[in-house]
A = this chain, B = another copy of it.
Amino acid sequence: MADKPTVGFIGLGIMGKPMALNVLKAGFPLVVHNRSRGPVEELVAAGAEDGSSPKGVAQRAEIILMCLPNSPDVQLVVEGPDGVFEGISPGKVIVDMSTISPVVARDLAAKAEKLGADMLDAPVSGGDIGARQGTLSIMVGGKREVFEQVLPVFQAMGKNIVYIGEAGAGQVTKACNQIVVALTIEAISEALVLAAKAGVDPAKVREALLGGFAQSRILDVHGQRLLDRNFQPGFKTRLHYKDLKIALETGRTYGVPLPVTGLVHEFYGALMATDKAELDHSALATLIEQMAGTEVRRAT
């Protein structure tokens, strides 16, 4: 059996830290970096090395993973001073697991190729629970043979791991995912608030609709959240707002008008202006509830 390659991990936040821990647990030598020291010390205590900078991580690791908040963070970590590109050498693989702009992902992948390295975009879904449990969905763009090479590392972090296509395809898929999820939350919000205000038990409506053509995982999970008034994240409003912005920018870049995505992005913007930015993204329903002056509750 071949020795396991050394893996790097940059960005040890609410998602990145448990993902890095799972890579370590799967037996990969791990070298890490994070802007703040706390998570680095935790990982070092668990057996990882401190790479001290993105450049340091890229010098020591063969596969360099990162999980960062947004496009500018990824650009800084990859192209900036003491960045990954300064430490990279031919044959190494950069894997960006952040949710960022597909346009930026394609640009960075092209630049990596010029340096003789490979880059995959591999955004995830499944939230911090999926990150901890190693059950994330991972959508991957880049060269197929590079995907095959990194697959054992992905398997340490996720369950539903799908190769989509060329560079950027993972980020495009994630943008599509976030569009469908947001618009479906809006759909069940309008429907269940209507039911409640028209005097019909929303729990019964949810149940009836789950048995037919309107069935969705969102209706199942977030329909139940609305009935239970449970807006503890889950996936935060703030992050979905950011992800829809990426989807809209992608639409503008490629020439695809996204009228309802634009409207729902505005609704998330309305939530951002209140104290609801840190609530679960299903809190979108509270806007309709406020306008209707009612709440979706289990009939009592």
Contact = CB atoms under 8 A, between A and B. Distances in A.
Interface of A is mostly: helix
A35 interface: no
Interface string A116-156: 00000000011000000000010101000000000000000
A219 interface: yes
Given A198-B254, A204-B164, A211 B137 contact: yes
Contact of A213 (B191, B211, B217): B217
A193 to B, nearest CB: 6
B260 A205 contact: no
Contacts of A173: 195, 200, 204-205, 208-209
B260 A264 contact: yes
B176 A209 contact: yes
Given A194-B176, A199-B166, A212 B260 contact: no
Given A173-B209, A175-B194, A181-B214, A260 B166 contact: no
A251 interface: yes
Nearest to A180: B214
A168 interface: yes
Given A184-B214, A213-B181, A217-B215, A256 B160 contact: no
A194 B247 contact: yes
B200 A190 contact: no
A84 interface: no
B194 A187 contact: no
Contact of A179 (B187, B198, B200): B187
B257 A292 contact: yes
Contacts of A288: 256-258
A253 B125 CA distance: 39
Interface of A: 102, 125-126, 137, 139, 141, 160, 162, 164-166, 168-169, 172-173, 175-177, 179-184, 186-188, 190-195, 197-201, 204-205, 207-209, 211-219, 221, 247, 250-251, 253-261, 263-264, 288, 291-294
27 contacts: A126-B212, A137-B211, A139-B208, A162-B204, A164-B201, A164-B205, A165-B204, A166-B199, A175-B194, A177-B208, A177-B213, A179-B187, A181-B213, A183-B183, A186-B260, A187-B187, A187-B260, A190-B261, A194-B256, A197-B254, A197-B256, A214-B217, A215-B216, A257-B288, A257-B291, A258-B288, A260-B260
